[in-house]
Structure 1
Amino acid sequence: MPLVITLWVLGFIVGTMDQSLLLLPAGLQPEVLFGRRIPGLGVILTLLIIFGTGLLVRNFIGEALVRVWEAVLARIPIVRSIYSSVKQVSDTVLSPNGQAFRKALLVQYPRAGVWTIGFQTGSPADEVRAHIVQEMVSVYVPTTPNPTSGFFLMVPRDEVIVLQMSVDEALKYVVSMGVVAPVARPGVVYPHRPAAPGQTPRA
């Protein structure tokens, strides 16, 4: 089963990336040049496009073109809201200096005494903190086995436990529905469990 699923995922990825061949003129299509379809050429073309785009936006002219492109998108009513939201999320999550998805947490959800794994995404907004006395932390709790959907929670900082497992290990743990448990690291001393439900060590 793992082999079949792996091959299916790879086939799906290669097939999707091969769609980039449609960008080529009709005379440069593999069917015309080689007389048959060659799987994987779209992967090479996609990587070349990504590499070329990266080189382009790294120079002065490329940065100017990106600013012009974003200014054009900002004038389209529906597109600008979608693009700006996705850009803000991607810039925050993918930023090397950001705090999003850098820690795996243990939180009580959906009720006290029931624990689940979440990922720290930052701190609540200033307006939210103005209404709450406690120090809070923003947590994303993914669903199982599809972690792309989940719940956004704001939890008191003293009610979360920072796990020593990596984010990758925690994500595998969630996706596998608890089957693939992270292996304990030798020499690592784990803190004692809470004395009672709702009383957890400060993160």
Structure 2
Amino acid sequence: MQLAKNVFKPKRASDWTAERIEQLSTPDIRQLRANAERLGEGAIVAQCDEALELRRKPAAAKRRAAAAAAPAKRPRHLISRSKAFQARGVYLPNVDSSWSGVRRSDGTVVISVWASSVASSEGGCSYLLWAPNIDGSRPWSDMAAGKERLEHCELALKQGGAEGLLVYGEPLDGHLPEDKARTVYGVDPQLVMQLRVERRGAEFWAVWGGKAGERPL
């Protein structure tokens, strides 16, 4: 239904009930609202605003659900963690235990994160990169690989960001995936996140989405 600007007339204002407005397409509701606003029909403007808001909420909910589910879905084509880092110009000091590295060409920090542990909220994502081993809660943090991650977090914080790679697999109960995992499927080579590293108390977090985002290779 196409609503020309001269279709809406004051004498027909009473015809525009909430039920009738809801039957219009979103572009037609916007056009009706513009016409009503131009003619000073505040009640119609309010009804249009309400109808548009009801349509925004389901769409926003779907986008948030998709964003939350996306990291956990395993892409078809995955490569090993070491090859994924090499593709970004990083050669890991220890192929088996290193989860981050520094690109020699420009000093950029590249960090791999466990996809199923990514937290999604309001269109953005976050991931706990490192936290201290308090009362034995995170033994990995005191290991060589954990200390290496801490060093890279501090460097990324100074540099203002890092690149991120998503690692897919099945975690092992009672262990951080960086330490031990039931299965490691590999890394999505088609996706690199632009991370913002934040210090929250004694913890380091990676944040992306919104201002920081994902970009395909």
TM category, shorter:
under 0.3
**Going by fraction, where is helix more abundant, 1 or 2?**
1
| Higher Rg of the two aligned structures | 2
Structure that is richer in strand per residue: 2
